[in-house]
Amino acid sequence: MRKGEATRQRIITEAAPIFNQRGFDGCSMQDLMQATGLEKGGLYRHFANKEELASEAFRFALAQNVKVRTEHLDEIPNSINKLKKVVQLFVDLPSAIPGGCPLMNTAIDADDGNEALRDLARKGIQDWRARLTRIIEAGIKANEIRRSTDPRRIANTLIATLEGALMISRLENSRNALRDAQTTLDTLLTSLERHS
């Protein structure tokens, strides 16, 4: 890695928690300079503007989360158990980057008009739903999940319930909402089992 590329990557890594915690508008140049130890000129030698840095920071934060939440999933053969593991990993490891889920933070933060960040969050939700849908479809094909199951509905419900529960748990500084979501989603997933 060239030195410039290494510095760029270090800035992204150090900026990611700041953007995730404070949002695009809430993250000041002062915050970024403090986190990276660089002056404004040093920062913007590597990024065209704040939006480009925020976009890279979001991509990094999301990739870290996807990584910790999908590791070893392939080792679980049964699709229902795999989905239960997805729920458990979300409940146990709510975010790899301080500040909660970058998807929800960016979705809420960018909904007044930062289109670049909004597109990235939209793509993040689409990709997550596609990963879950693939597991459900494979489960239907393998006769593990009832044929009447609507993969998109189950995928949307899993994402919505986990994200909403994370919001409540963070606000209340209590794991109750995440634990309650896990219990409900485990029951939902068990109800999808095909008994042949």
Of 71 and 150, the one with the shorter C-beta distance to a copy of itself is 150
8 Å CB contact between 46 and 4:
yes
Identify which range of 58-66, 80-88, 133-141, 181-189 contacts a copy of itself by CB under 8 A.
181-189
How large is the C-alpha radius of gyration of the chain?
Answer: 19
Query: Does 165 contact a copy of itself by CB under 8 A?
Result: yes
**Is 39 or 119 the residue whose CB approaches a copy of itself more closely?**
119
Residue 55 makes contact with a copy of itself by CB under 8 A: no
Amino acid letter for position 89: L
Using the rule CB under 8 A, is 107 a contact of a copy of itself? yes
* Sole binder of a copy of itself in the list 10, 84, 170, 175 (CB under 8 A): 170
Q: Does 133 participate in binding a copy of itself (rule CB under 8 A)?
A: no
Q: Which lies closer to a copy of itself via its Cβ, residue 8 or residue 19? A: 19
Among positions 13-42, residues that touch a copy of itself (CB under 8 A) are: 21-23, 25-26
The reply to whether 136 sits near a copy of itself by the rule CB under 8 A is no
End-to-end CA distance of the chain: 55
Is 105 one of the binding residues for a copy of itself (CB under 8 A)? Answer: yes
Residue 104 vs residues 62, 73, 77: alpha-carbon distances, Å: 11, 23, 30
Does residue 184 belong to the site contacting a copy of itself (CB under 8 A)? Answer: yes
The rounded distance, in Å, linking the Cα atoms of 161 and 177 is 10
d(CA 52, CA 48): 6
DSSP string, 99-163: TS-HHHHHHHHTTTT-HHHHHHHHHHHHHHHHHHHHHHHHHHHTTSB-TT--HHHHHHHHHHHHH
Among candidate residues 171, 164, 133, 125, the one with its CA nearest the CA of residue 149? 133
Q: How many residues bind a copy of itself (CB under 8 A)?
A: 43
Q: Which residues bind a copy of itself (CB under 8 A)?
A: 21-23, 25-26, 99-100, 104-105, 107-109, 111-112, 118, 121-122, 125, 150, 152-154, 156-157, 159-165, 167-168, 170-172, 176-177, 180-181, 183-184, 188
